[in-house]
Amino acid sequence: MDLIPAPHRMERATGFLELGDGFGIEAGPGTEDTARWLRATLGAATGLALPPKKGDEYDVLHLSVRPGLDAEAYRLVIAPHGVHIQGGSPAGVFWGAQTLRQLLGPDAFRRAPLPGRTWRLPLTEIRDSPRFRWRGLMLDVARHFMPKDGVLRYLDLMAAHKLNVFHFHLTDDQGWRVEIQKYPRLTEVGSWRARTKFGHRASPLWDEKPHGGHYTQDDIREIVAYAAERHITVVPEIDVPGHSQAAIAAYPELGNTDVIDTSALSVWDTWGINPNVLAPTDNTLRFYEGVFEEVLELFPSEFIHVGGDECLKDQWRQSATAQERIRELGLRDEDELQAWFIGHFDSWLAARGRRLIGWDEILEGGLAKGAAVSSWRGYAGGIAAARAGHDVVMCPEQQVYLDHRQDAGADEPVPIGYVRTLEDVYRFEPVPAQLTPDEVPHVLGTQANVWTEVMEDQARVDYQTFPRLAAFAEVAWSRLPAPAERDFADFERRMAAHYGRLDALGVAYRPPTGPRPWQRRPGVLGRPIDGSPPDR
C-alpha cells in the first residue's frame, strides 16, 4: 500500500472490503466536519451517497474521537464488515480520513466518478501520529498574486499530505494583498505594480502589463474557515520593518522622509533586497498597530508572523529621526533599533494573547522576549534561538526553499539557487544534531517555503512545489531514520502511485524525467548556484 506520508505502523490482512451503494457513515461527536468532508470529496469521486448509518449495521464507516490517543494520532481499521477511524481529536480523525482516501486509489482524488469503477479497501489496521506539531507550507502571494480559488486549492493539497500550518505571506515590496479597512490605500495603491521583472533581477526581460490583486476581508474569512475545516492553521505574515515599499508607496509618511522623497516611490517592480524600509517613528508604530488590530480579527492563529528579515539599515544610518530614536532609547546601533521595533510588536501581540514569530534576523540586536523564530538562513538561527529558550520552526533555504531548482539540467525553468532534488528534500533533517535533549522540544516543527518571484502563475507554483512537497510531508509527519539511512528507493516506489493522485488532482508537477516542453522557460535568466549547499 503506497501511502504518503508513510504511517507509523501498518498491518495488512488478506482480502478487501467492497464499497457499495449501502455504505454509510456514523459520525460520533466531534467528527461531523470530517463526515461532511468525506461526503463532499469521496462522494463526488465515487458517486456513493455515504448516508448516515448506525453503528450496529454492516458497511459503516465509524468516526469517533478517542481521548486516549495523542491529539493528531489516529487508528484506522478496515474489517470485512466495515471501517473504524478513531482519532485523539477531530484533527486525528481527519488525518485518518486522508489515509482512507489514499487507500481507495488515485481515482478517489477525482471530482466525478469514472464509469464502471468499483471501490474496495484492503483489510488493514494502521496506527499513526505525526512527528511534529508544525508541518508547514509558506506561500508567497505578494510577489505574484494567487487568486482565492488557487489558495483554497493549495489548502486541499496540504490536507492531502497531512500538512497543518499555512504560512500566508501577504505583504512585501511588490504588493500588499490583504484589505485593511482603516487604511484603504494599502490595497487601492499597494496591491498593484505597473510591470514585473521576468526572471532573476539581472534578467533584461519585463512583463509590461500591470500585476496585482488582493483578498477582501471576507475572502480571508473564507480562506481561514476553509483551512480550519481541514485542521490547517493560517499564520499571516505582515512584513516589518523591511520588505515594505508597497506600504510606503500607499502611505509615504511611513518611510524615511528625511532621507528620500518617499512620495515618489511606487510598488516595486523587480526583485532583491529593497533599501526602502519603515521609519522607526511613533506614527509607524501606531499605523501598524491599526493594521494588526484588523489582522487579529481575521486570523485566530496563536502566531502572527512579522517578517523582520532583510531590513537594510542604510536609510536609518542617514536619518536624523532614526538616529535621535537610537539616542533616546539608549541603543547601541541600528541592529538594536530593529530589535526594539520587533520587541514593540512582540509585547503588543502578547498583551492580546498572541505570539510573534519572525525570520531569524530578529535575533540580531537581541531576541524579542517570547518570540519564536523561523530559521531560514540555514540551521544556525534555529540553534541559537532554541539554546536561548525560544521556539523554532526549521525552514533552512538550502534545504527546503522550493523555489530552488530541482535539477542541474539546462532545461530547468528559471533556475534559482542550489539543486534540491526530490531525494535531497527526502533526506532533510529538521532537528539540528547540535541541540541537547532539553533544547530539542523547542523545535516546533518544519516548513517548506515557496517564494514566487519567478513563478508567474499557478502552473509554475505547482512545478516548483511538487513532487518535492510530498517528500517534505513525509519528513514532517513520519518518524524517519537518520537521513543517510532513509529508504529513498521505497519512497520512489510509493511515489509511482502518488503521481497518479497528483494527476487526478490536476497538479502540474515536475515529472521524474524532467520538465515537459511547456514547463520550460528558454532564455529567461535565473541564478543557479553550483555545488552542494552549506549544511549549517
- By annotation, the residues acting in catalysis are 172, 243, 310
Give per-residue burial for 334-365: e unless 16+ CB within 10 Å, then b: bbbbbbbbbbbbbebbeeeebebbbbbbbbbb
Instruction: List CB contacts of 75: < 8 A, sequence separation 6 or more.
Output: 66, 69, 84, 85, 86, 87, 96, 125, 126, 127, 128
Helices (H), 312-420: 314-318, 320-329, 334-350, 380-387, 397-400
DSSP string, 109-152: GSSSPPTT--EEEEEEEEEE--S-SEEEEEEE-SSS---HHHHH
For residues 46 and 109, what is the distance between their CA atoms, to the nearest angstrom? 9
Specify the long-range contacts of residues 7-10, CB closer than 8 Å, at least 24 apart. 7/99, 7/126, 7/127, 7/128, 7/478, 8/127, 8/128, 8/129, 8/478, 8/479, 9/126, 9/127, 9/128, 10/124, 10/125, 10/126, 10/127
Asked whether 106 and 497 are in contact (CB, 8 A), the reply is: yes
